[in-house]
Amino acid sequence: MNKLIVIGLSTIAFASPSFAQHDNVARGQRSFRMCAPCHSLEPDRNMTGPSLAGLWGRKAGSLPSFERYSDVLKSSGIIWDDRSLDGWLTDPDRMVPGNEMPFNGIKNPQDRADLLAFLKEATKPGAAPQVTAQGQMGGMGGMMGGGPDPNLKNMEANMQVKAITYCRDTYRVTTADGKTRAFWERNLRLKTDSGKDGPQSGAPALVPAGMMGDRADVIFAAPDEISNTIKAGC
């Protein structure tokens, strides 16, 4: 085949809509890393924000498994589609004044188009799970946001909390490996997780949360376990 014809066919192929769409989705997947700490792509796996699975065609503020929507979003009447999502990603506060999403918007139209191209593929029913952000860093050195949450029902010994004492401004957390770690009271966060990946009742988990090993979360199965577990003692 003539060399010029081969070059011409290759140029046409790489300029085709399917190749352009693939590039958009790939760039959008990289952009989604900034969304991943707050939004999951798994059905009904809610985080700070609601799961985005099945987003297209859904009424804003209507996912039954998510209970933290703002009243203004629930009453907005918005149906999520290409146009409404582009407006939301441009400036959420302008689109729905008084909403509670801590996001300033994406001003570059191409960046929004890329992210929407990825989300449209990743959120449709039956879409394969996407790896979109860094997961955990090793040891107690810290955790990067956006990776999958660990299953706290099956923990390593260094995550199984056996005792917590509080003295002046310091928490001391003893884990099943026999180690006790001291945390300044502002660096230890007490949380609950009643979901399927949350800890067993009476078996709170210590999860690293800082980059320097100075911060962590203790996650309980229910709120009443917090006061029952922490004991005053110097």
Q: For residue range 41-83, what is the model confidence (pLDDT) as tens digits?
A: 999 888 888 999 999 999 999 999 998 899 999 999 999 999 9
Task: Flag whether 186 is in a domain.
Answer: yes
| Per-residue pLDDT at 9 | 43
Task: Flag whether 77 is in a domain.
Answer: yes
| Per-residue pLDDT at 48 | 82
Residues 107, 31, single domain; the answer is yes
Q: In the chain, how many domains are there? A: 2
Task: Flag whether 133 is in a domain.
Answer: no
| Per-residue pLDDT at 29 | 95
The residues of the chain scoring below 70 in pLDDT are 1-22, 128-148, 211
Residues 16, 116, single domain; the answer is yes
| Per-residue pLDDT at 148 | 61
| Per-residue pLDDT at 129 | 62
| Per-residue pLDDT at 126 | 85
The pTM (predicted TM-score) of the whole model is 0.64
Residues 112, 143, single domain; the answer is no
| Per-residue pLDDT at 22 | 65
Task: Flag whether 134 is in a domain.
Answer: no
Task: Flag whether 51 is in a domain.
Answer: yes
Task: Flag whether 48 is in a domain.
Answer: yes
Q: What is the DSSP string of 155-218?
A: --GGGBEEEEEEETTEEEEEETTS-EEEEEGGGEEEEE--STTSPPTT--EEEE--SSS--EEE
Residues 111, 166, single domain; the answer is no
Q: Which own/partner contact pairs does 68-77 have at CB distance under 8 Å and 24+ positions apart?
A: 68/100, 70/96, 70/98, 70/99, 70/100, 72/96, 72/97, 72/98, 72/99, 73/99, 73/100
Residues 118, 7, single domain; the answer is yes
* Rg from Cα positions in the chain: 23
Q: What is the CATH number of the domain that holds 34?
A: 1.10.760.10
In which domain, by residue range, is 111 found? 3-122
Residues 173, 198, single domain; the answer is yes
Residues 49, 108, single domain; the answer is yes
Residues 102, 185, single domain; the answer is no
- Selection from 200, 157, 163 nearest residue 176 by Cα: 157
CA 51 to chain centre: 9
Beta sheet of 188-192, edge-to-edge order:
188-192, 216-220, 205-208
Quote the crossing angle between the two packed helices 109-122 and 17-31, to the nearest 10°.
90
Residues 88, 156, single domain; the answer is no
Residues 93, 201, single domain; the answer is no
| Per-residue pLDDT at 67 | 86
